[in-house]
Amino acid sequence: MKFRILFLAVAIALLAGCGLSDQQKADYATVARSGVSPAIYDKMTHGDPLSINDVIALSRARVSDGIIVRYIRDQGTVYFLNPQDFDQLQKDGVSPSVIDFMARTGRPTWGPGPYPYPYPYPPVSVGIGIGGHWH
């Protein structure tokens, strides 16, 4: 218990001196109070990407969906989730809104989609020329 209080006090003191927005400071203070491991908190304060297991730990610690999604968005983390990842996230209680956001990070943002992964660029229409006209 003493470690957790000391950790929280140090975390808040460090955040006060950083060039973070008020929203980020509030989010990190909430994460620090949630009881999530110091390793995950450190990842977040250093701007490192969160693993699927980190997202699960944050959800289990009852960190709000908004904080998790905001962090993933702000860091530009991209997830290419496979069916097993979806199953694990759902089974471990991650909310559908967080899972959906994570899934959308791995999709291209151009065109009407959905396009199967991996597409390095938008699909191109190809025609066959017959008699000087394209069909």
Q: Is the pLDDT of residue 117 over 50?
A: no
Query: CA 21 to CA 127: how far, in whole Å?
Result: 51
Looking at residue 66, its pLDDT comes to 94
Looking at residue 112, its pLDDT comes to 54
Looking at residue 77, its pLDDT comes to 92
Higher per-residue confidence, 7 vs 47? 47
Band (107; pLDDT cuts 50, 70, 90): confident
Looking at residue 95, its pLDDT comes to 95
Mean pLDDT estimate for the chain: 78
Q: Is the pLDDT of residue 74 over 60?
A: yes
Range list of β-strands (E), the chain: 129-130, 133-134
- Of 9-18, 60-69, 94-103, the range with the lowest mean pLDDT is 9-18
In Å, what is the CA distance from 16 to each residue of 12, 24, 30, 43, 80?
A: 6, 11, 14, 17, 35
Q: Phi/psi of residue 21, each to 5°? A: -70, 165
Q: In this structure, are residues 101 and 69 in contact, taking their beta carbons and an 8 Å threshold?
A: yes
Structure tokens at 68: 């998790």
What's the predicted TM-score (pTM) here? 0.66
Structure tokens at 3: 């470690």
Looking at residue 126, its pLDDT comes to 47
Q: Is the pLDDT of residue 88 over 80?
A: yes
Looking at residue 19, its pLDDT comes to 64
Q: How many CB atoms lie within 10 A of CB 134?
A: 9
**Could you tell me the residue ranges of all domains in the chain?**
2-108
Q: Is the pLDDT of residue 12 over 90?
A: no
Higher per-residue confidence, 91 vs 3? 91
